[in-house]
Amino acid sequence: METLNETFIKIFNEKPESAYFAPGRINLIGEHTDYNGGNVFPCAISYGTYGVVKAREDRLVRLYSMNFPDLGIKEFSLDDLTYKEADNWANYPKGMIGYLYDLVDNKEAVTGFDVVIFGDIPNGAGLSSSASIELLTGVIVEDLWQLTLDRVELVKLGQKVENHFIGVNSGIMDQFAIGMGQKDQAILLDCHTLNYEMVPVHLENEKILIMNTNKRRELADSKYNERRAECDEALRRLQTVTDIQALGELSLAQFDELKAVIKDDTLEKRARHAVAENQRTLEAKQALEANDLQTFGELLNASHQSLRDDYEVTGQELDTIVALTQAQNGVIGARMTGAGFGGCAIALVKEDKLPEIIQAVGKAYQEKIGYEADFYVASIADGAKKID
């Protein structure tokens, strides 16, 4: 916080007035199910994005990110909130400001602000640094303009930024986890109805290990949109024989009965993942509640396998780190987390074995892939908020 305040003074020649934080997220299980109307099981983590802010008297917004010092100050007016390539990372806050501005009745009454941002989520690691910036901007603007928005509405605006401003057809999971997260709770979210349940995560002798492959998620956005389109097409074909609105409505047994109508191996695999993963997610939530970590871990492993073989979103780096981890003594289960194509995996591990696991996996990964992985221990944290 001190560095953020000092940077603000250096960049804007004034002191900031208020501070905010939005977390990143991990998803325990339920991958690529959100846009298929299925369940997800994410939680907010203590790594995230900080912002220190001072309101302005005019209509300018000026943003500076300590993560991209070379890009300098990004600046725009409330009177032109359109997407611009040159705004780079600042398009995420810009989109959010724009959608919130649309909701303001007296548009002359609101003013811009200066903000310095710093994120300790590794960029491109699949821990949702973009949704974190969206929700950070959301809580800042909500506070400065004194908007009273239902939190789920703010979450939906974050998704709208991704879908319509940035152009990634992502589901609601990331923004929901980051907006609604609570310390030591995972969120079982039904993405079709948005009904959700907070599930306490009380691990006595275990930790959640985050492993960053350091493989950038290149092509992730275009591949992501492609997977989504494949699922939509599989759904469309299934709808010719059954009355469903989303793949998430089917059990695996129902899917097996109907799947012949899909008539395309790739589309069938994509849909099978979505259906099976949804079922695994519900089972995993029950296993966690029953403190049956063995079953929970097996479901994590099965999730990775399905993402590798049926959904094909893992790649060499994620497969390597997950296989190496699964082979270690003290590992209960491991899988990729987030969109895939690089980024992070998570593992549930025995706390007393943590150092050995990190050491062994780190060394073997470096040998196989040629560069290092990074390791973090996740603590489950609160959602986006103003901080004192």
Catalytic member of 70, 102, 105, 174: 174
* 153 C-beta neighbours (distance < 10 Å), count: 13
Q: Which of residues 311-370 bind ligand GLA (CB under 6 A)?
A: 338-339
Beta-carbon contacts of 169 under 8 Å, excluding residues fewer than 6 positions away, are 35, 162, 163, 224, 225, 228
Q: Are 185 and 196 in contact (CB under 8 A)?
A: no
Alpha carbon distance 311, 241 (integer Å): 23
- Does 217 sit near ligand GLA (CB under 6 A)? no
Return d(Cα 354, Cα 321) in angstroms, integer: 15
Distance, in Å, from the CA atom of 235 to the CA atom of 103, rounded to the nearest integer, reads 34
Q: What mask of x and - would describe binding to ligand GLA in positions 118 to 157, judged by CB under 6 A?
A: ----------x-----------------------------
Least distance in angstroms from the C-beta of 127 to ligand GLA: 9
Among 19, 32, 180, 314, binds ligand GLA (CB under 6 A): 32
Q: How far is the CB of 214 from ligand GLA (least distance, A)?
A: 18
Per CB under 6 A, 277 contacts ligand GLA:
no
Name, in order, each residue with C-beta under 8 angstroms of 151's C-beta and a sequence gap of 6 or more: 179, 180, 383
Asked whether position 35 contacts ligand GLA by CB under 6 A, the answer is yes
Q: How many residues are present in the chain?
A: 388
Q: 214 or 281, CB closer to ligand GLA? A: 281
Q: Is 17 annotated among the ligand-binding residues? A: no
Q: How would DSSP label each residue in 263-324? A: --HHHHHHHHHHHHHHHHHHHHHHHHHTT-HHHHHHHHHHHHHHHHHTS----HHHHHHHHH
Around 314, how many Cα atoms within 13 Å sit in the side-chain half-sphere?
21
65 labeled part of a ligand binding site: yes
Q: Which is nearer to ligand GLA, 34 or 268 (CB)?
A: 34
- In the bound state with ligand GLA, the residue whose beta carbon lies nearer, of 144 and 307, is 307
State in angstroms the smallest separation of the CB of 297 from ligand GLA: 19
CA-to-CA dists, residue 66 to 50, 52, 195, 382, angstroms: 10, 12, 37, 23
Q: Which of 171, 297, 342, 383 binds ligand GLA (CB under 6 A)?
A: 171
Tell me, by CB under 6 A, how many residues bind ligand GLA: 12
Among 31, 134, 230, 382, binds ligand GLA (CB under 6 A): 31
174 assigned to active site = yes
Q: 119 exposed, middle or buried (CB, 10 Å; 0-12, 13-18, 19+)?
A: buried
Out of 170, 185, 279, 320, name the contact with ligand GLA by CB under 6 A.
170
Nearer to ligand GLA (CB atom), residue 170 or residue 212: 170
- Residue labelled with tokens 């349940």: 197
Q: What is the Cα–Cα distance from 205 to 222, expressed in whole angstroms?
A: 40
Annotated binding residues for Mg(2+), written as ranges, equal 130, 162
Catalytic center residues? 174
Annotated binding residues for ATP, written as ranges, equal 65, 124-130
Annotated binding residues for substrate, written as ranges, equal 31-34, 224
Residues near ligand GLA, by CB under 6 A: 27, 31-32, 34-35, 128, 170-171, 173-174, 338-339
